[in-house]
Each structure stands twice: as C-alpha cells, then as structure tokens.
Structure 1
Amino acid sequence: MISCACPEFALDNNPDTRAAMERITAAEADLLAARAAFYPQLGVTVEYNRTNNPMYSFGNILNQGLFTNTIDFNDPGTTDAIQAKGVLQYRIYNGGRDAAAMDAAINREQASVFDNETVRLQLQANIVRAFCSIVQAEEVVTARQSALEAISASLAVAQARFEEGSLLKEEVLNLEVQQARAEERLIHARHCLSLAQRGFLRLLGLQGAAVQLDAQGSPAQEIPANPDINRRPELQAMAAQIRMLEAMVRQAEGGHAPTADLFGSYQVDRGAEFGDGSGNSWTTGIRLNYALFNGGRTGAEVERAKALLREAREKRQHLELACTLEMEQAVLALHQEEERLKVTAKMVTSARESARLSRLRFKEGLLLSSELIDTENRLTDAQLSHSLATASRTIAIADLRRAVGLPQFNHGK
C-alpha cells in the first residue's frame, strides 16, 4: 500500500534517476583520471635474465662489479641477472594539455549533474501527471457510478409507472438500454483507472503493489511569478558542455607544443654465474620531445574539436528557442485551463439543478424518458469536463514549473 504526497517519493526508486547518478559517478571518475596527470608517476620492475650474448653478458658483468682483465670481450660466457628497478617520472610541460583536460573533465562532471537534474524535473512532472490521471480516473468512476445509480432509480420509477399503466413499454426499454450503456461506461472507467495506477507504479519503480493516493496531503503547487528559462538545467548542461569543448580545443592545440619530463631511476643488479656479484646504479635527467611531423594528425584533431564546439553552440541556440517556446506554451495552457475551470464549474451547477428538476418531472409523468436520458448525460458530461479541467490545470502548473527549471514543490528537490 503506497501513500504518495508529492513526486519526491519516486526520485530514489525510478531507474532513470539511478542511471543518471551512475553517469555522474562516471564523470567523477574521468575527473580523477585527469587529475592524475599532475602527479608524478612511480613504477617498479623486476626481471630475471640469463644470456650468452656477448654484449648483454658483458653488460651484466659490469653492472654486477665482476669485471677482471681475464674476461674475453668477444666471449665473456653465460651470465644471469636479477634486476629490480624503480623509475620516477614527472611531466613538467606539455603545452597546457593536462590543464585543458582537467578543465574539460570538470565541465563534463557539471554537465552530468545538470543532466541528472533534468531527469529529476521531468520525472517530477511525470509523477504529477500520473497522480492527476489517477485522481481524474477515480472521479470518472465516481461520475459513471452516479450516472448508473441515477438511471437505475429512474428505471425503477418507470417500471412502477408502467405497472400502473401510465407509461409505455417503449419508455421503460429506453431506460433499460441507457442503464446497460451506463454499466458499460463504468466498466471502461474502472479499466482506465487500473491502467493509470499501473503507470504510476512504473514511475515509482515498483511492481505488484496497490495504489492509495492522499490527494489532501499534497501541498499546492505555486505558480511561478516571473517565468523565465534561465534556470533550465538543460541550458546549464549545454553551457557546461560548451566550456568542456572549448577546453578540448585547447587540449588539441597543445599537441603543437613540445613535452618535457623529469625522470630518475634506481637499479639493483645481482647475478650467480660469476659468483655472488651485485651492483646498484642510478640515473636522473630531463627529456624533451617534439614531433616535427606526424602526418597532420594534430591539425586534424584541432579542426575536429573546433567543429564540435561550433556544433554545440548552434545546438545551444536551438535549445534556447525551444525552451522559450515551451515556456510560452505552458503559460498559455495554464491560462486556458484556469478559464476552462471556471466555465465547467458553472456547467456542473446548472446541469445538477437541471437533472434534479427533470427527475421530478419524469416521476410526475411530465417528461419523456429520452429527455431524462439527455439531461442525465449532460450532467455526467459536465462533471467529467470539470474533473478534466481540474486535473489539466494541475498538469499545466507542473508543465510550467518544469519549463522554467523549477521542482514541483518548493520544499525541496
């Protein structure tokens, strides 16, 4: 049994939000990987070799401090060596590529956070829509049930009048047909309610549970006073992506610059062929690398990065136009639903009084069954129109809040 007072209930259970959180985790891992470039690299290797190659064998003898004047340089014999080597390396310059990669990773993470917020806002709006659909479906069931009860009561009156001889059989049959039609509509309304409940459970990320809504417990949604699109997370995510692509352009342009590395190593050598020989050594230095020609690969990478940046800027302009249109449509839709709600409320009041008077006239024999049926149908239609207008207004507010980048309720996200 589920009691849901606001859309926040679904945020921790829906698979879409969990998937968005995993994308944030992946972006954070990319950021950690980019930061690794600013730390020195330390590695250790251990190797055992055995050889009779004169050059390598003589090198083993020298490394292990076993050289004597009796050694034949051309045939020093078979030697072995156990070598343990530690290497420390630190890149001090690479044209700003590491800094650009870091900047790109930071903005990629920010974009993933805004994408997650987009998913959350859309889910909240969908929850409100599903919530309203269930409420509306329940009201349709209630209206159909009331219509069935009303026509059944009128049918009972008609049968009594028929038995008294003051009503034709045709009038009774008309009411019986209308009763069957009302039963059919009630069955369909209950089916729609069941479908709405199943859709609501899917948004919650749940299965096999009953749905109990607490419509009174839901706080009223506030209508944005000055709607604008600046808070839209989609736009903020696109801005972060553009900053990321700008950093990637700088990273690609850094390929034209040389790289410089500081390095140092310490090596331990031991052997057994010429006795218990051993020797340790160390090396330090600076290395400068510069690619004089790489087939135009760096230039191609720069041009590709710039093209992606230009594409993203065009997409941002398209997104701004789309978000503006969406906000304007939401404002107009809300205005329409508020006007419609006022009209349908008057319709229900008038139709309810008309139905009451028609039932009295039919009971007194002053009204035909067909006229009574028309009156009852108008009352049901008015009630359904008012129910639809009420739900549509709530949905319109939800769409407007989503269109301006706001959560559905101000008490939290």
Structure 2
Amino acid sequence: MSWILGYKKSCQWLGIVAVRMIMAIFLCCVLSLVPKAFAGDAVPDVWTGPDAVRFALKNNPDAQIAIKRIASSSAAIKEANAAFYPQLGMQAGYSRTNNPMYSFGNILNQGVFSNSIDFNAPGETDDLQFMLQLTYRIYNGGRNQAVVDAANAREKGAMLQEEAVKNSLGFAVVRSFFNIVQAREHVSARQAAVQAIDASIAVARARFEAGDMLKQELLNLEVQQSLAGEDLIQAQHGLVLSKQGFLNVLGLTGEKVNINLVQTPLQTVPTQPDFKGRSEIKAMHFLIQARQAGLRQAKSGYYPTADAFGSYQADKGFEMGSGSGDSWMAGIRVNMTLFDGKQTDARVQQADIALAQAKDELRKMELAYGLEIRQAVLTLDQTDKRCRVTEKMVVSAQESARLFRERFNVGLVLSSELIDTENRLTEAQVRQALANAEQRIAVANLRRACGLLQYTEQ
C-alpha cells in the first residue's frame, strides 16, 4: 500500500512539473513575438519623416541615455541639499568590563555610586547604553552652497545636452529617411534603364533576324543589358543598406521599411542662421557656472568650520543594583585647519584651471559652430543649384533618348550611340535623385546647425 501511495505522489509531482514546463514554453513563445526594440509604442506600417523622428526620440538608446543622465543629475542635487539638514543618529550597545576606569564610569552613569566602592577596584560592571546624537553644520566657508550651485548647473546642462542629443538624433533620422528616398529613386532609374535596354534588344533581334543588323550591334546591346542588370543589383543592395541604417537609428531591428514622402512636410529654411541658440552652447555656459561653483568649493578650505551638536544618553546596569541613569550634552565646535600641506592651494589651482579650460572650450565651440553654419548655408545653396541643373538635364536626356530610340528602330543609328544615350539618361536621373535628396538633407543639416527641431510638431 505504501508503495502505491508513493507511486501516486510521484505521478502527481511529475504532472505538476510537466504543466509548468508547458506554461513556460508557451510564455517564451508569446514573448518572442513581442518587438524587443520598444515598449508600448506601435510601429507604423508606413513611415513619414515626423513619425520617424518622434519614434526615435522615444526608443533610440542615445535618447534614453540622455534621460538617465538628467535623472542622475537630479539625484546629485538631492545629495548636495542634504548638507543643509541636521544629521540625526542612534547608537545602542551592551558591554561588560572589569576595567576600573570604565567600571567606575558605568557606576556613575547608572547612579549607583556609594562610599563603599573602591576606586581602584570597583568590580565587574555591565552597561546597556542607548544614545541619540544630533549634529548640524553651521558654517563651512560656503562649501555646501557651492556644491548645490554646481549640482544645479550640471542638471540644467544635462537637460540642454538632452536637447542637443535629440537635435542630432532628429537630423540622423531625417538623413536616413532621405537616404532611402535617394536609394529608391536610384533603383527606379536603374530599372528604367534595364527596361529600355530590353526593349531595344527586342527591336535589335527582330532587325537581326530580318538581316538588317550586324551580329556585333546585337552583342553590344546584350553586353549593355548585363551591365545595366549589375548596376540594378548594386542599387537594390544600396536600398537594403539604407533601410537597415534607418531602422538602426530608430532603435529597431528587421527588414521591412515603407516610407511616405508625399505626406512628409517640407522643412522650413532658417531665415537668419545662427548658432547661439544651440543647446550645446547653453549647456557649456552652465558648465562654466558649475566650474565657478567648484572654484568656490575649493576655496572654502581656507575657512573654518562650525558645528552645533547635542546628544542624549541612557544607561542601564544589571550587576550593581540594576541602576539606570540618563544624561545629555550640547554645544558648538569650531575647527580650523592651520596647515594641510598646501592641499587646499592645489585644489584651488585645479579648479581654476578647469574653469579656464571650460571657457576655452566654449570659445572653441563657438568657432566650430560658426563654421558649421557657413558650411551648411553653402551646401544648401549648392544643392539648390544642382536641383535646378539636374532637372533640366533629365528633361533633355529623356527627349534625346526618345529620339535615338525612334531612329534606332528604323536603323538610322548604331547600337553604341543608343547605349551612350541611355547611359546619359540613367546618369541624369541618378544625379537628379541624388541632388533632390541632398537638398532635403542640407535643409535638415542647417536646422541642426542652428539648434532647431526638424519639424515644428516634434
């Protein structure tokens, strides 16, 4: 009977284990279907520029790192403000001794002194002690306030650095978006070139079979067909890479990317480009304030410190009549360092150098951002001109290709001439796609250089 009961228990235990394993496997399968790159944010089926920017600002690791940096700065402010509050501590303990000095102290604290006690050998005593201690720093040369000022300045700088990260991230998203547009137009141009060559080869084979074309002319077109196919493969590969780069900026993984250029609004061009509104410049000003506060903090070492303190103590003994007693103490303590091996001088020197370095970095940033503004303006002007030129180039190349195809169909031009014409059309279309995409990227770059958001609704 006991064997049967043991067998039943074993079966029940195995059944429970099996059920738990099945539930765990089911849970893992469900979790594997959940996108890993984001939490709670729906991924659009079709991306527009503003949608992509908003999504990246929530899910890109750089944006999350900037947010955590602000949280860390806020915690530093709380830590700095703690110096303005009193410190309250509690101490409790039990001791037993036959040391004459400590035993006599226990006797006095517990209020059990009598004239019969031998001072040299008061005997064995014990003490259960409880103590509350309160301390408050009254003055320390302005060190606490300097620490708070530095922490506040760093928090504001961290907030501005977050804005700078978002501006850079927004530009990266827009650039990746229009890289896809450019790659897609490149693929379209290569596909059109392949289709045009295929149509020309069909005409050439008909003419060759009719004896109206040499074999060499047909072979030239077939070679060009292979070259156009290779160019198309490279363009398609570039499109795949551009989509992967776009997903990476968004903080996603996958392969499917659909973008909508029609519903992506045009970005306005800054009328008066200026770098003074950039978050990096403002953040550097707050860093200088933090360094100034750090210098004041270092100089506080030249001044004394003053502390107020108070304590309450209760003692309980069990050896000598179970005595007990309590006492208190309060006062003010002033400390002044007369010589510290020039440690304070070294700290002041280091803080002064750090402040000077921050000011030099600000000047360096102003020069660099001024150059960025000028380069962005020149690049935008160049891309505007290229767009106008390539538009005319495509119109002319399309008309020229149309005429050459008609003449080739009736045998008035050679295949080499048709190939040159088709290559010029394809090159013009690729140049136009590149110029249009770079023009939109140039606008985004100028907005980034000015410290502006990519889209007003961002």
Deviations 1:110-145 (A, max 9, x none): 111111111111111111110011111111111111
Alignment of 1:1-400 (within 5 A): 2-5=45-48, 6=50, 7-400=53-446
Aligned residues: percent identity?
Answer: 53
Residues of 1 paired with 2:361 and 2:328: CA distance?
A: 55
Residues of 1 paired with 2:348 and 2:73: CA distance?
A: 23
Q: TM-score, normalised by structure 2?
A: 0.89
CA contact (8 A) 1:60 1:80 kept: yes
What is the count of residue pairs matched by the alignment?
Answer: 412
Q: 1:47 deviation in Å?
A: 1.3
Q: 1:3 deviation in Å?
A: 2.6
Q: 1:208 deviation in Å?
A: 2.0
Residues of 2 paired with 1:247 and 1:123: CA distance?
A: 32
Which one-letter code corresponds to 2:208 in the other structure? F
Residues of 2 paired with 1:62 and 1:404: CA distance?
A: 76
Deviations 1:130-170 (A, max 9, x none): 00111111111111111000000000000000000001111
Secondary structure, aligned partner of 1:285: strand
Q: 1:2 deviation in Å?
A: 4.0
2:4 maps to what in 1? none
Residues of 2 paired with 1:4 and 1:35: CA distance?
A: 46
Which one-letter code corresponds to 1:329 in the other structure? Q
Residues of 2 paired with 1:331 and 1:376: CA distance?
A: 35
Residues of 2 paired with 1:82 and 1:120: CA distance?
A: 60
Secondary structure, aligned partner of 2:384: helix
Which one-letter code corresponds to 2:167 in the other structure? L
CA contact (8 A) 2:157 2:286 kept: yes
CA contact (8 A) 1:46 1:84 kept: yes
Deviations 1:58-80 (A, max 9, x none): 11111111111111111111111
Residues of 2 paired with 1:108 and 1:341: CA distance?
A: 45
Which one-letter code corresponds to 2:304 in the other structure? P
Q: 1:275 deviation in Å?
A: 2.6
CA contact (8 A) 1:354 1:375 kept: yes
Residues of 2 paired with 1:121 and 1:205: CA distance?
A: 16
Which one-letter code corresponds to 2:124 in the other structure? T
Which one-letter code corresponds to 1:3 in the other structure? V
Which one-letter code corresponds to 1:277 in the other structure? G
Secondary structure, aligned partner of 2:46: strand
Rate the CA distance shift 1:39–1:209 in 2: closer, same or farther, 3 A: farther
Residues of 2 paired with 1:323 and 1:244: CA distance?
A: 23
Secondary structure, aligned partner of 2:258: strand
Secondary structure, aligned partner of 1:344: helix
Residues of 1 paired with 2:344 and 2:60: CA distance?
A: 44
CA contact (8 A) 1:2 1:209 kept: no
2:16 maps to what in 1? none
Moved segments of 4+, more than 6 Å: none
Identify unmatched segments of 5+ residues in structure 2: 1-43
Q: TM-score, normalised by structure 1?
A: 0.98
Which one-letter code corresponds to 1:25 in the other structure? A
Residues of 2 paired with 1:173 and 1:153: CA distance?
A: 14
Residues of 1 paired with 2:262 and 2:110: CA distance?
A: 87
Q: 1:328 deviation in Å?
A: 0.6
Which one-letter code corresponds to 1:363 in the other structure? N
CA contact (8 A) 2:244 2:255 kept: no
2:12 maps to what in 1? none
Secondary structure, aligned partner of 1:216: coil
Which one-letter code corresponds to 2:448 in the other structure? R
Secondary structure, aligned partner of 2:253: coil
Q: 1:11 deviation in Å?
A: 0.8
Q: 1:296 deviation in Å?
A: 0.7
Secondary structure, aligned partner of 1:212: coil
Which one-letter code corresponds to 2:46 in the other structure? S
CA contact (8 A) 1:111 1:241 kept: yes
Deviations 1:188-210 (A, max 9, x none): 11111111111111111111241
Identify unmatched segments of 5+ residues in structure 1: none
